[in-house]
Amino acid sequence: MSKVIDGKAFAANLRQDIAARVAKLKQEHSFVPGLAVVLVGEDPASEVYVRNKGRQTVEVGMQSFEHKLAADTSETDLLALIDRLNVDDAVNGILVQLPLPEHIDKDKVINAIAEDKDVDGFHLANVARLWMGAEGVVPCTPLGCLMMLKDQLGELSGLNALIVGRSNIVGKPMAALLLAENCTVTIAHSRSRDLENLCRNADILVAAVGRPEMIPGSWVKPGATVIADDDCLSSAQHAATGLPPAWHHDAELRQLTDHSPRLCVSSTRRFFARPGAYMLFAIGRFSPQATVVNASGRMPFFTRYSRTAAERRSDSCWL
pLDDT digits (tens, 9 = 90+) for 199-212: 999 999 998 786 76
Q: Which of 117, 148, 178 is the last residue of a domain?
A: 117
Annotated active-site residue in 116, 118, 120, 250: 120
Q: Span 29-58, mean pLDDT?
A: 93
Residue 247 has pLDDT above 50, yes or no: no
* Structural contact between residues 159 and 203, judged by C-beta atoms closer than 8 angstroms: yes
CATH number of the domain encompassing residue 68: 3.40.50.10860
Residue 128 lies in a domain: no
179/156 Cα distance (integer angstroms): 10
Q: Are residues 23 and 81 in the same domain?
A: no
Q: Are residues 151 and 97 in the same domain?
A: no
Q: Are residues 142 and 279 in the same domain?
A: yes
- Work out the end-to-end distance of the chain between its first and last CA atoms, rounded to an integer number of angstroms: 34
233 or 218, which is more confident: 218
Q: Are residues 109 and 169 in the same domain?
A: no
Task: Using pLDDT thresholds of 50, 70 and 90, give the confidence band for residue 1.
Answer: low
pLDDT of residue 55: 92
Residue 126 has pLDDT above 70, yes or no: yes
271 or 7, which is more confident: 7
Annotated active-site residue in 56, 97, 172, 231: 97
What share of the chain in percent tops pLDDT 70? 70
Q: State the total domains in the chain.
A: 2
Residue 283 has pLDDT above 70, yes or no: no
* Mean pLDDT of the residues in the chain: 76
C-alpha separations of 210 from 190, 249, 311 in Å? 13, 8, 33
Query: Residue 82's CB: how many other CB atoms inside 10 A?
Result: 20
Task: Using pLDDT thresholds of 50, 70 and 90, give the confidence band for residue 2.
Answer: low
* Structural contact between residues 97 and 49, judged by C-beta atoms closer than 8 angstroms: yes
Give me the domain span that covers residue 147.
1-28+136-305+313-319
Position 296: which residue type? S
pLDDT of residue 226: 87
276/241 Cα distance (integer angstroms): 23
Q: Are residues 144 and 277 in the same domain?
A: yes
Q: Are residues 277 and 318 in the same domain?
A: yes
pLDDT of residue 84: 98
Tell me how many degrees the CA angle 208-245-45 measures, rounded to the nearest 5.
Answer: 60
**How would you classify the pairing of strands 184-188 and 93-96?**
unpaired
Task: Using pLDDT thresholds of 50, 70 and 90, give the confidence band for residue 300.
Answer: very low
pLDDT of residue 288: 32
Tell me the per-residue pLDDT of 135-185, one tens digit each, with 9 for 90 and over.
889 998 899 889 989 998 999 999 999 999 999 999 999 999 999 999 999
Q: Are residues 61 and 103 in the same domain?
A: yes
pLDDT of residue 229: 58
Query: Residue 86's CB: how many other CB atoms inside 10 A?
Result: 16
Q: Are residues 227 and 293 in the same domain?
A: yes
Q: Are residues 157 and 275 in the same domain?
A: yes
Residue 124 lies in a domain: no
pLDDT of residue 5: 76
Q: Span 185-193, mean pLDDT?
A: 93
pLDDT of residue 29: 95
Position 158: which residue type? G
Q: Are residues 170 and 288 in the same domain?
A: yes
User: Would residue 97 show up in a list of annotated catalytic residues for this protein?
Assistant: yes
- Name the percent of the chain in helix, strand, coil, to the closest 5: 40, 15, 45
Nearest residue to 176 via CA among 16, 21, 307: 307
